[in-house]
Amino acid sequence: MKTVYGLLLVGLVALLILPQFLSSYVLGIFILIFFYAYLGQSWNILTGYTGMISLGHSLYVGIGAYVSAYLAMAAGISPWIGMWIGGVCAALVGLAIGYLGFRFGLRGVYFVLLTIAFAEIGRLIFLHLKAFGSFQGFFITPRFAFANLQFKGNLPYYYIGLGYVVFSLIVVRLLERSKIGRYMVALREDEDAAESLGVDVFKYKMIAIFISAFMTSLAGAFYANYLYYLHPGTIMSMAFSIEIVLRPIIGGMGTVLGPVIGSFLITPLSELSRSYFSQAGYEGLHLVIYGFLLVAVVLFFPRGIISYVKKRMMPLIVRSEKSRTE
């Protein structure tokens, strides 16, 4: 374990120094890597640790983004404060979904449908709200200042994005080590067995969706103040939910590092392929590739790349250490 922490620390230091050598374009890609790693990590809390698949996490991002941006525009409340208000709103919506879904022990597919249904309702309602610009979308006038979470250039966003990722890693690691996290894993592996041993399944699922929705929505404030434009058709769409889901699945659900590794693998690939294919006139081709990737990963690496690497590589390392001592 110590070596892993050591490696992570080295990685963090490297990432802190790295921007000195990068162009603004590459910084932009790194910002997206951090953004999706953070979102994947937040999704991972619910789906990776309790096994309840949510395909509606774009709803929470949308709530966080709109609430914080609206408060900043209409009432002048700093997004640094507004993001927590948005987080509470999203967490309440998450609790409502959880209450509906978990009360009857809706498992598997039913819960997936419920999350999609709520996300779609949310998208349609936000699309018709005049306060949020309706079909035109919501424009945010930039006023560059730290308090407004708005900056010229990519560098500050890079460090804030990195901060988000470190924050999420710490939260998930603490959660994993805590009793709550253990209960979540227990109910993921066998709900009936966990319940028969006295784990309050409903309660721990509710805690998981609360934390997950809250954390997810914090990224919304970042998104809003990075792009200065919000539209439910992008930020609250099913496609965005799938983007969130893809990275932790490829990296490895239910692990602390899976979403981050998945994001480092997929985000640059997706950005480069997106720009390459749309220049070549095949807009949408990268999504076709995504689709096949999702199928292939679930068929061949159902536990993600990180578990595969562990299973294949660990014996090699362990054996070589053994032979050294002998």
Partner 1 sequence: MNLNLLLQLAVSGFLLGGVYSLIALGLSLIFGVMKVINFAHGEMMVWGMYIAYTLFIWTGIDPFFSFLVSAAILFILGYLLQRTVVNRILDFPEAMQVLPLVGMAMVFENSARIIWGPDYISPQSRFALSSLSLGNVMIDVPRFLAFSLAIVITIVVLFFLKKTDMGKSIRAAADNRIGALLVGKDINKIYAVCFGIGTACVGTAGGLLVPIMPLSPHIGAPFTMISFIIVILGGMGSLAGAMVGGFIIGIAESIGPELITGLFQGVGLDLEFPNTMKQVVSFFILIVILLLRPQGLFGGRRA
Contact between 100 and 121 (Cβ < 8 Å)? no
Q: Which of the ranges 30-38, 216-224, 239-247, 313-321 carries the binding residues for partner 1, by CB under 8 A?
A: 239-247
According to CB under 8 A, which one of 4, 7, 9, 124 is a site residue for partner 1? 124
Query: Rg for the chain (alpha carbons), in Å?
Result: 20
According to CB under 8 A, which one of 108, 153, 163, 315 is a site residue for partner 1? 108
According to CB under 8 A, which one of 113, 155, 166, 185 is a site residue for partner 1? 113
> Under the criterion CB under 8 A, does residue 298 sit at the interface with partner 1?
yes
**Nearest-angstrom CA–CA distance, 31 and 160:** 9
**Nearest-angstrom CA–CA distance, 237 and 234:** 5
According to CB under 8 A, which one of 11, 142, 153, 302 is a site residue for partner 1? 302
> Under the criterion CB under 8 A, does residue 73 sit at the interface with partner 1?
no
**Nearest-angstrom CA–CA distance, 92 and 168:** 20
Instruction: Kindly provide the residue ranges of all beta strands, DSSP E only, lying in 222-324, ordered along the sequence.
Output: 229-230
> Under the criterion CB under 8 A, does residue 52 sit at the interface with partner 1?
yes
> Under the criterion CB under 8 A, does residue 92 sit at the interface with partner 1?
no
106 φψ region: left (φ > 0), alpha (ψ -120 to 50), beta (else): beta
Among the listed residues 183, 189, 213, the one whose alpha carbon sits nearest the alpha carbon of residue 201:
183
Least separation in angstroms between residue 195's CB and partner 1 is 16
Residue type, 43: W
> Under the criterion CB under 8 A, does residue 32 sit at the interface with partner 1?
no
According to CB under 8 A, which one of 7, 117, 129, 272 is a site residue for partner 1? 117
> Under the criterion CB under 8 A, does residue 305 sit at the interface with partner 1?
no
According to CB under 8 A, which one of 4, 9, 16, 125 is a site residue for partner 1? 125
Least separation in angstroms between residue 124's CB and partner 1 is 5
Contact between 193 and 32 (Cβ < 8 Å)? no
Residues 250-289 contacting partner 1, CB under 8 A: 282-285, 287-288
**Nearest-angstrom CA–CA distance, 217 and 39:** 9
Least separation in angstroms between residue 179's CB and partner 1 is 24
Which DSSP category does 21 fall into?
G
According to CB under 8 A, which one of 8, 12, 294, 305 is a site residue for partner 1? 294
Sign of CA dihedral 260, 266, 272, 275: negative
According to CB under 8 A, which one of 59, 93, 112, 187 is a site residue for partner 1? 112
- From residue 184, give the alpha-carbon distance in Å to each of 44, 198, 278, 283, 306: 12, 13, 42, 41, 20
Binding residues (CB under 8 A) for partner 1: these are 51-53, 55, 100-101, 104, 106-110, 112-114, 116-118, 120-121, 124-125, 127-128, 238-239, 242, 245, 249, 282-285, 287-288, 290-295, 298-299, 302
